[in-house]
Structure 1
Amino acid sequence: MRRSELTSEVAAALARLEAAIEAAPQHVLGVHPTDNGEVELRVFRPGLRELRLSGGDRLSRIEHSDLFVWRGPADRLPRTYSLHFRDDGGNQWQTCDPYHFDARLPEYDLHLFGQGRHWHAWKWLGAHAISIDGIAGVRFAVWAPNARNVSLVGEFNGWDGRCHPMIPQDEIWVLFVPGLAAGDRYKFEVRGADGSVVLKADPWARAQEFRPATASRVAAPSSYVWRDQAWTEARRKRDWRVSPMSVYEVQLGSWRRWPDQGWYGYRELAHQLVDYVGELGFTHIELMPVTEYPFDGSWGYQPLGLYAPTSRFGSPEDFRYFVDHCHDNGIGVLMDWVPAHFPKDAHGLARFDGTPLFEHPDPRRAEHPDWGTLVYDYGRTQVRNFLLANALYWIEEFHIDGLRVDAVSSMIQLDYSRKAGEWTPNEHGGNEHLEAIDFLRELNTVVHGRFPGVVVIAEEATAWPLVSRPVELGGLGFSMKWNMGWMHDTLDYFEQEPVHRKAHHDKLTFGITYAWDENFVLPLSHDEVVHGKSPLLYKMPGDEWQQFANLRALLAYQWTYPGKKLLFMGGEFGVTLEWNEERELDWNLLRFPGHAGVQRLLSDLNRLYRASPPLWRDDFSPSGFEWVDCNDRDRSIINFLRHDHGHGRSLLIVCNFTPVPREGYRIGVPVAGRWRERINSDSSMYGGSNLGNVGEVEAEAIECMGRKFSLNLTLPPLSVLILEPPGTSRS
């Protein structure tokens, strides 16, 4: 068939198809009426030798082109026709015509997405295995409002952008491709507004290739049957503010590895990690980012697949199993979530449609100077929707119990890590990133409103006010905030030689002055044991014995101080190497008594903590804490009471932060009777010198520190004692 027989419109469209610049393929491909009352079927496919209808009719090739045409009466063409292909290599296959199907999205979905209010946008954007008119295939949809045209490419078409140009629908490009299925690889070939042609992974993909490959994969619809209904119902009713929370932070790829250094998968970790964490008594696991990321060295903090659990450890169904098994064993799952920035990788979000689409258009706001990444444009409704729906996706689809939001400080301050002239003020002349603040408030409002009991925790390192206060009171609305001030002051104190600690005594006492300003988590996280900072054990001064004693005292102090607890993996047994994501923890250290003793102490601390409401019920209220004496600077001793306000229960904590044992140390207490020594961090069970008070001590009617009764204690060196008053129920 000659080109001259084509109408001018079809001839022009053919030229665009050949150049892979056709922006409206639905107007030329598929079935269209002719002037003589018949229909014309047009199929464009490079590399074919022959194309037939499944009934046998051959389509004519337009000369010197890859356009095939069939003309005839409409009743000769089946309602759902299929095509038989034979390529130049002799390969044959049969499938239906993508341009015969109406793949348009519901207008209401588009409207909600445009408003930034579609909380289930992942259910129609991206790739979804569905059926249309009884034909199975995959519908693809991607937001690229400024693209000149978008084509779907993959193994199914030789990665040739001419084969499957997508159909525009408002700002979305859609296409239904029959015959594709879960596991198929794909990308979008985007011709941008600037004329550039780039291959982009799907921002909404729910599965990705294993790095260094960068294609997206069609995810199978989940068939996982959850067993955690009782857990999620209890979570909905639980008030986390007055509940125990001790968190084990873990990077899945370096907790344990196989002998050949291969990673454990989600299902292996579901048993080995969960059993271990359960034995240690933690209430939660916090996962460093498991959203797909291209570079191992970023630890996941530069993600490019926010909707895909990383393929390093298995499939999305495997990850569901991991979370479900955690819940089945009474352990909650938190995950680090990174809505602050994304890397510039060419296959990612950067200049997705030839314009700064996901990133802010102003370079002074788009570039993150610390990490060489791009900052999301929180003022664009569709970008906000991309992020907000993602938070809900992990909670709804994977039953995550909470999000720890990374790098909040960098989001809410326009001048974060920027010098004068490198940032632009907001409309009021200030440094507050108003759009990011609005985004975070909406995030917390939506998450808390839709999923009671789920927590959202801010990693916010400045003195920004009201981070964990309700939005209606002017706060950001987070459940909790990491207490970075406590962490820095405490580590700085413990790193001092004991003889010098009296000069730094205020670092122990200052934190209480702001302890109730926020709902705090006390973090000893991965950030403190990398990049030359050394592991916790080797931050401690003195000889080996003193280092272990200091570490035990640090952990006991953390577990008794007001606030929820977080400890990075390895800290529980005193690893001796700085953390490295390329190797597993040195589990062989547990052969040695000092390391095993730290682990046993941590386990005992967790069990006492969970069984003792004074240590958590009033974490966020001054009624839960009382100094007994914080002024013994010269001997580096502090002691305080933790109260379960309104229930009449208390615990006494006595800390001796020098290696000098103190005999006959008298301390005032509120009641008479025998005080039981519940934890002594110097016990021989933990590798200590076993000084102490033989398990209990009688309160005497001797006034001390303004109290009618007092205890005459032996304070072991570099130790923390936890004592329980008489009349307390024992567990």
Structure 2
Amino acid sequence: MTQAAPLIDAKTANDIAQGRHGDPFAVLGLHEVDGALVMRAMRPEADSVEVIDAKTGRALVTLERVADGLFAGVIPRRKKRFDYHLRMTRGSDVWEEQDAYAFGPKLGEMDEYLLGEGTHNQLWDAVGAHVCTHQDVEGTHFAVWAPNASRVSVVGNFNGWDGRRHVMRRRGATGVHEIFLPGLGDGTVYKYEIIDGAGNLLPLKADPVGFGAELPPATASVVRDLRGYEWSDAGWLSKRGAKHKIDQPISIYEVHLESWRRVPEEGNRSLTYLEHASMLVDYARDMGFTHIELTPVSEYPFGGSWGYQPVGLFAPTSRFGTPQEFRAFVDACHQAGLGLIIDWVPGHFPTDQHGLGQFDGTPLYEHADPKEGFHPDWNTLVYNYGRTEVQNFLIANAKFWFEEYHIDGLRVDAVASMLYRDYSRKEGEWVPNKDGGRENLEAIAFMQRMNEVVYAADDSILTAAEESTAFPGVSAPTSSGGLGFGFKWNMGWMNDTLRYMAEDPINRKYHHDKMTFGLHYAFSENFILPISHDEVVHGKGSMLGKMPGDDWQRFANLRAYYGFMWGHPGKKLLFMGCEFAQGGEWNNETSLDWHLLDHAPHKGMQSLVRDLNTLYRTTPALYEKDTSEDGFRWIDGGNAADSVFSWVRYGKEGTPPVLVVSNFTPVPRTNYRIGVPHAGHWAERLNSDAAIYGGTDTGNPGGADAQEMSMHGCPYSIEITVPPLATVFFQLSDS
């Protein structure tokens, strides 16, 4: 390097000092210039900077300040790169650090290829913040997709939130920026500072693929080391696939973790993941459920959204603990024989400025046109499913939860809003598809691809769609044009039957078809019967509150309804609190009203649900042919005058059938003759009017023997007592 040559030209120095240089790795760190080794370091927090030989600890040179915060100098008697540290001083403070600009890129050629193609199904292994060893040094590698940014920096307490300090390396045409920061590890708080293509400084952004987040209302991402957890669920995983088949019992307990149970003695705080791993898991197992389903646990800024407006799709919410503690919760579920399903929201995302919206100054994840990219119902943004990288981001996220957290299922929220471009929109407020229709073809293709990818990776998991329309083939294979979900929520059944139950019993005969109509399509999909959180919020009242009559009748109505539900074809889902007939509408800011279990009617309801689950799980006729027409036969589905329904459920060959009888009037039916398809003894297995549940104890102790007297198209019949407002189960037995 000639004596007259500058250490750095003025324009480059100024661009670096202002944090607006597009390729800082070409400037900062060690570089050979005109035969000399030049060191440049952007350290605006320091008064002076020295270069230290990492092997000897000897100071080689004190750098010269060449611009605001920028230091440079020639390394004497050195021609080749070497390991070094930087020693900074500020007043009386002295500290040493390794230089981020001494490290080469970490992303490999295959990562770069797949990122550029938008097909990196292990996306979270490439981008995000990873605690790792790079060039024999411990630190954290950061990578983020921001293709239209002119500059991206990692900022945090470690660099005074100064975006000039750690400007990232752009990886060619991928649109990904990366940097390795030595010495940073688990718990580091960070965001990305981005300058858009027009030179505008954007609001700080959380990491789209961040594994952790600050406790809301703080909004930064947090480095989380996902390595090292030792799972204890190999036994569960080896059996999981068998438990998720359509011929198996699936009974789901839906839970909002923040309000399931609180600790009033400690400021009414919510339970932690580890406390849920004990208390919630033990409770769900005791109640006989097969699965727990959580409202979304992906990090969300606004608690009132219950998680349905997530910002950090790859981060379990910090409200209840760390990612490793969430893993411990999942592990506890599995060791207790419970599956864990999480609600997943690929349908929309909030407009919070630290989130995905206008991420690099452009509509990167969303549509540019609000007619395509904005949900009027929720004031949220819609993902651009037609963009390969966005589809990749979402599908990789689905895989992430299965692979990194061993979850057993995804329940996909608001599928109807994704399927139709005119969802909740008036004429002129939506854009037709390429064929002029209302279907969102890109969203359909995305859901099909998502199901193909996750089931191909592990066919023991399940996916379920919350879909409220008559869109065909939601749970049909993609090979036959279906969406490929394992199951679909039966929203029509739920709406019809709850409307029926809201009627005064004297009027129910005029609405009889609301209880029978669901059987016209019950086998068109693999259905889950959902009584979810949506049925007990926004002024809809509690399940108990929906029932007419005095207190006794309301409890009896609800017991009869649950019996009807558990006897009906379809898997089961019940929201927390509904199992003990919480009296008030669900409030996400308080605990469930557990004190109600001190009162016999509520305790009786809880016992009924526990026994319904036990009956369901131990009685193959109630689940083996859930999706097959030959698993169901009406005995009398037309007795509107009495509001009595009776049907038989069949299992596989050799399985004793089950007769279910529901009476939705307060009138007991004595000497009631009903047809049965087989001779023999029909034992009463469960009666929702039993005294232990809070009923009148009217019933059929010991059951009834079939007589060779034809009725209801059956060659035999039995004479029974049908209790008021009750559902009774009988099973054919040998005795």
TM value normalised by structure 1: 0.97
The counterpart of 1:678, out of the listed 678, 682, 685, is 685
d(CA) in 2 for partners of 1:70, 1:638: 89
Instruction: Work out the CA distance in 2 between the residues paired with 1:407 and 1:143.
Output: 27
Tell me if 1:57 matches 2:55: no
Instruction: State yes or no: 1:140 paired with 2:142.
Output: yes
Name the structure 2 match of 1:232. Answer: 237
Q: Name 1:21's counterpart in structure 2.
A: 20
Secondary structure of the corresponding residue to residue 707 of structure 1: coil
Superposition deviation, residue 161 in structure 1? 0.8
Q: Which residue number corresponds to residue 261 of structure 1? A: 268
Amino acid in the other structure paired with 1:81: Y
CA distance in 2, matches of 1:588, 1:104: 56
For residues 563 and 535 of structure 2, the distance between their equivalents in structure 1, rounded to whole angstroms, comes to: 18
Q: Which residue of 1 aligns with 2:374?
A: 367
- What SS does structure 1 have at the residue aligned with 2:40? strand
Match of 2:78 in 1: 75
CA distance in 2, matches of 1:582, 1:389: 32
Deviations 1:440-495 (A, max 9, x none): 00000111111112111000111111111000101111111000000000100000
Supply the distance in 2 between the matched residues of 1:380 and 1:10 (Cα, whole angstroms). Answer: 41
Q: Is the 8 A contact 2:29 2:40 kept in 1?
A: yes
Q: Which moved more, 1:653-662 or 1:687-696?
A: 687-696
Identify if the C-alpha distance between structure 1 residues 194 and 481 changes in structure 2 by more than 3 Å, giving closer, same or farther. farther
| 2:261 counterpart letter in structure 1 | R
Aligned-residue CA RMSD in angstroms? 1.5
CA distance in 1, matches of 2:243, 2:662: 33
Q: How does 1:7-46 map to 2 (within 5 A)?
A: 10-35=9-34, 37-46=35-44
- Does 2:492 align with 1:494? no
Match 1:581 to one of 578, 588, 603: 588
Equivalent in the alignment of 1:706: 713
Aligned residue in 1 for 2:122 = 120
What is the DSSP-based 3-state SS (H/G/I as helix, E as strand, rest coil) of the residue aligned with 1:583? coil
Q: Give the secondary-structure state (helix, strand or coil) at the position aligned to 2:246.
A: helix
Q: Which amino acid aligns with 2:281?
A: V
**Residue 217 (structure 2) aligns with:** 212
TM-score (norm. length: structure 2): 0.96
**Inter-partner Cα distance in structure 2 for 1:74 and 1:234:** 66
CA distance in 2, matches of 1:239, 1:202: 34
In the TM superposition, residue 423 of structure 1 has moved relative to its aligned partner by 0.7
Rounded to whole Å, the distance in 1 between the matches of 2:698 and 2:577 is: 27
Tell me the equivalent position of 2:55: none
Partner of 2:164: 162
2:270 aligned counterpart, secondary structure: coil
Give the secondary structure class of the aligned counterpart of 1:644: coil
Counterparts in 2 of 1:417-428, with a 5 A limit? Answer: 417-428=424-435
Residue deviations 1:83-119 (CA, integer Å, cap 9, x gap): 111225x333211111111024112112212323211
Aligned to 1:191: 195
Aligned counterpart for 2:521 among listed residues 497, 514, 521: 514
Of 253-262 and 702-711, the range deviating more from structure 2? 702-711
Deviation per CA, 1:280-337, whole angstroms, max 9, x where unpaired? Answer: 1000000000010000000000000000000000000000000111000100000000
1:603 to 610, 617, 641: 610
Note if contact 2:51-2:63 (Cα within 8 Å) is conserved in structure 1: no
Matches within 5 A, 1:310-325: 310-325=317-332
Q: Any idea what the Cα deviations from partners look like across 1:197-235, whole Å, max 9, x if unmatched? A: 121010010011001111111111321111111111111
Cα distance, 1:237 vs. partner? 4.6
Give the aligned partner of residue 450 of structure 1. 457
Deviation of the 1:706 alpha carbon: 2.3
Q: Is the Cα–Cα contact under 8 Å of residues 573 and 596 in structure 1 kept in the other structure?
A: yes
Equivalent in 109, 112, 115 of residue 110 of structure 1: 112
Structure 1 range deviating more: 229-238 or 543-552: 229-238
Amino acid at match of 1:151: S
Shift of 1:708: 2.3
How far did 1:362 drift? 2.0
Matched, 1:462 2:469: yes
Residue identity in the other structure for 1:599 = Q
Letter in 2 for 1:10: D
SS of residue in 2 equivalent to 1:324: helix
Equivalents in 1 of 2:85, 2:215: separation in Å? Answer: 34
Q: Which of 624, 633, 636 is the aligned partner of 2:643? A: 636
Count, aligned residues: 723
Q: Distance in 2 between matches of 1:98 and 1:484?
A: 54
Q: Please give the alpha-carbon distance, in whole angstroms, between the structure 2 residues aligned to 1:381 and 1:105.
A: 20
Correspondences of 1:355-434 after superposition (within 5 Å): 355-434=362-441
Q: Separation in 2 of the partners of 1:514 and 1:392?
A: 32
Amino acid at match of 1:82: H
Name the residue aligned to 2:479: 472
Q: Distance in 2 between matches of 1:446 and 1:28?
A: 42
SS at match of 1:112: helix
Residue pair 2:36, 2:79 contacting (<8 A) in 1 also: no
Which letter does structure 2 place at the counterpart of 1:665?
Y
Quick check: 2:61–2:75 contact (8 Å CA) kept in 1?
Answer: no
- Equivalent position SS for 1:440: helix
The residue type paired with residue 28 of structure 1 is V
Once structures 1 and 2 are overlaid, which stretch shifts more, 610-619 or 66-75?
Answer: 66-75
